[in-house]
Amino acid sequence: MLTRVMVPVLLIASLSGCQSSAAVPDSPAAPGQKEQAVNPANEASQATAPSAQFQSFEQWRDAFRQEALAAGISENTLQRAFDGVRFSSRVIELDGAQPEFVRPIWEYLDGAVSDSRVSLGRSKLADNNAAARSAEAEYGVPAEVVTAIWGIESSFGQNFGDFSTLDALATLAYEGRRRDWAHDELLAALKIIQAGDISPERMKGSWAGAMGHTQFIPSSFVTYAKDGDGDGHRDIWGSIPDVYASTANYLHQAGWRQGEPWGIEVKLPQGFDYSQTELSTRHSAQEWASLGVTALNGGRLPAFTEASVITPGGAQGPAFLVGPNFRAILRYNNATSYGLAVATLSDRIAGRPGVQGSWPRNEKPLSRSQIQEMQARLGALGYEVGTPDGILGPNTRKGLRAWQRDQGLVPDGFATLGVLERMNR
């Protein structure tokens, strides 16, 4: 990993509050549904009302223009790229959307790793094999992993958004939930244009500022984008060699370990302590083996020095032992569901099997309001879960596991409608 904290390429996990333990957004490839959307994780939300010192968007734009000049953006760049930016009410509408119902992880993976996407991914990799293998040789990231990210982020370029990045970021900087973040990303976008990598008209992407085939936010583009085709420009909108090189470089800088797998599907022993199924819990593969964790296919566990066991479908679903490369994928989008989608799609593109275990498809995940109800109920029963917020984070799973343990249930922290109904009884 980098020595500094990396900003996720996408804002999806942070804007949307996507939680991998039970449910995920309808489509990670649809920029309009990314609440985080490729934005900075762990940044506190800001008020959505326009900043008090500006009575209009035009006043804000004039003030930002002066800041941009002071930051080194030229008058010519501002005239070409900024002076005509427009406020978008649609961007604000999408920024404020909080879907009540989300799809369970197995339905998300059904779409993200569908047979048609696998087939198209293999075709795209074959069509761009020279560029893909060149990036793999330089950065050590397998070509099928980058291809999988490309497929999930934009359906191989079929859907990377048609919002003007400049309009979207200007709107969010004026009235969005993360004004400070959008302000800085807008400056980065102007620097990209000033450097000559892309014209203002071609800088298109999601409503949240994610751009191009693999949905980089501007600051990530500035830091990690690469010129893969040697034409002197970094173009993740029109140059597939640049897309492969840039995305591989991002994962390389995120700590990808060449020659290691992302992880492996495993079998857990009876009586396994499910409180350890958090990404924050890390042991060597040897330690996990001593606890009874075995490879589902009967082979040996990867020789990870630091690995985590995750069970995103609870005790009834498949289990995975994941290592540093899985965590590198999460730096792209910090949702376990996303990481599994990239990992398993890359496996299938490469001809390896996907998920073998069965998901608990009969279980009904909770809506956001039901999660809040469960959190409030757990708190009232004396289990520490924090303020009810409708998000299934580590504290909520910890409290739920404690309640399950006290009820004589398998303490897997998997929140379902059946769990909530029993809790209310």
Residue in this structure with the two tokens 């709107």, named with its chain if needed: 171
d(CA 111, CA 113): 6
Terminal-residue alpha carbon distance, the chain: 47
Residue 242 in contact with residue 225, Cβ under 8 Å?
yes
d(CA 60, CA 235): 30
Residue in this structure with the two tokens 């920024």, named with its chain if needed: 95
Q: Does 35 participate in catalysis according to the annotation?
A: no
Tell me the angle at which helices 324-332 and 143-154 cross, rounded to the nearest 10 degrees. 30
Annotated active-site residue in 144, 153, 185, 363? 153
Q: How far is CA 195 from each of CA 85, 129, 191, 234, 235, rounded to the nearest angstrom?
A: 19, 29, 6, 10, 12
Beta bridge partners of 19: 23
Residue 153 in contact with residue 160, Cβ under 8 Å?
yes
d(CA 111, CA 105): 10
Active site residues per annotation: 153
